[in-house]
Amino acid sequence: MDLSVVILVEMLYAVASLVLISSGLAVVFGMMKVINLAHGEFMMMGGYVTITAVGLGVNIFVAMLIIAPLVVGLIGLVVERLVIRHLYGRLVDTMLATWGLSLLFIGLATMIFGNTTTGISTPIPGFTVGNYQINGYNFFIIVVAVVLVIAMLVVLKSTRLGLIARGTMQRPDMAAALGYSPDRIYMATFFCGSALSGLAGAVLAPLVGLVPTSGGAYIAKAFITVIAGGPSLVAGLISSASLFGVVNQVFTFAISPVFGEVALLVSAVILLRLLPQGVTAKFFKGKM
């Protein structure tokens, strides 16, 4: 009984961390069709911003939930103005440019923070479930992921802003004809996507040892989750993250963490063979 609770929590945590890792990319790649290979580095920067802010005496939750997304969002804004906006609609060129950006960010982080491992302790103590101890921070990550998903749904579906953004992504010419500047909407969307990446990096930072190359560990998972999710932003994110998170944890518990990772990748390959357009091209059609 206790064990099943523990496994359930670990599964929810795995799903939640996939949602977190992928949400920024889902906005930038899923909505804007910009292949952002620097996504992992945005997360890495979120982590460093958090650690620096905590080092300066800022409350850790303020640092993670407010400062890191803002700072990384602003970096994203600069990147969008200088690089990305010239490359909309040119898929391969954006790949090359963002890959270059990722190398640049790794280099900058190495220069500033050194090519060495840093980290902070988790702010939430562990607690007991029957005979088991669980990392209390897992719950925090689950809560952040749930709030994030709800917020994305509400913004995209129920606000005028979300409506304009969605419209612009589908038909920029029509949006322009109705008096909205696609240029500014793209800019705002990229800012949001970067901020989400920064948030993810910040929230995950206390669980890992951070190095400038940490971003590489996230990028593959993020792309797999977003691509397997398919055209619907939120529904796709939730469905593929749930699938991969559960598969990963089942195999991790049954065999070993290495097999968990392998199983995740194998299931992604099979899924994309069966549903090449992603889960939401077939199910939950027309959902957010």
Partner 1 sequence: MTVNRRAFLGTTAALTGAAMLPGFALAGETIKLGSVLDTSGIFDAYGKPMDMAMRLAVSQINAAGGLLGKQVEVIAYDTQSDMALYSQYAQQLTRQDKVDVVQGGILSASREAIRQTMRKTKTLYFYNVLYEGGVCDRNIFINGVTPAQQVAALVPYAMGKSGKKVYILAADYNYGQITARWIQKFVTDNGGETVGVDFFPLDVSDFGSTIAKIQTAGTDLVIAPLVGGAHLSFFRQWAAAGMKDRIPLASTTLGVGNEHKVLTAAEGNGIMVAYNYSQELDTPANAAFKAAWAAAYGDSKAIHELAVSNYQGVMTWAKAVAQAGSLDREAIITALESGLSIDGPAGKVTVDPKTHHAVLDVHLMEFENQGMKVIETLPQRQPIDTQSVCDLAANPGDNTQYEIDI
**Choice between 50 and 94, CB closer to partner 1:** 50
Q: Compute the least distance from the CB of residue 219 to partner 1, in Å.
A: 13
Question: Phi/psi class of residue 33: alpha, beta or left (left: φ > 0; alpha: ψ in -120 to 50)?
Answer: left
Q: Are 109 and 214 in contact (CB under 8 A)?
A: no
The CB-of-109 to partner 1 minimum distance in angstroms stands at 13
Whichever of 138 and 280 has its CB closer to partner 1, that residue is 138
* Nearer to partner 1 among residue 52 and residue 122 (C-beta): 122
Cα separation, 107 vs 114, in Å, equals: 9
Question: Which residues touch 99 (CB under 8 Å, ≥6 apart)?
Answer: 37, 38
Query: What tokens appear for 18 in the block?
Result: 């996939």
At its nearest, how many Å lie between partner 1 and the CB of residue 286? 35
**In angstroms, what is the minimal distance from the CB of 264 to partner 1?**
12
Q: Is 56 exposed, middle or buried (0-12, 13-18, 19+ CB in 10 A)?
A: exposed
Nearest CB to partner 1, comparing residues 115 and 181: 115
Instruction: Report how far residue 186's alpha carbon sits from residue 28's, in angstroms, rounded to the nearest whole number.
Output: 9
Q: How far is the CB of 9 from partner 1 (least distance, A)?
A: 8
**Closer residue to partner 1 (CB): 161 or 255:** 255
Residues found near partner 1 in the complex (CB under 8 A) = 3, 6-7, 10, 13, 17, 110, 115-117, 119, 121-122, 124-128, 131-138, 206-209, 211, 213, 217, 249, 252-253, 256-258, 260
Distances 243 to 16, 44, 54 between C-alpha atoms, Å? 11, 25, 35
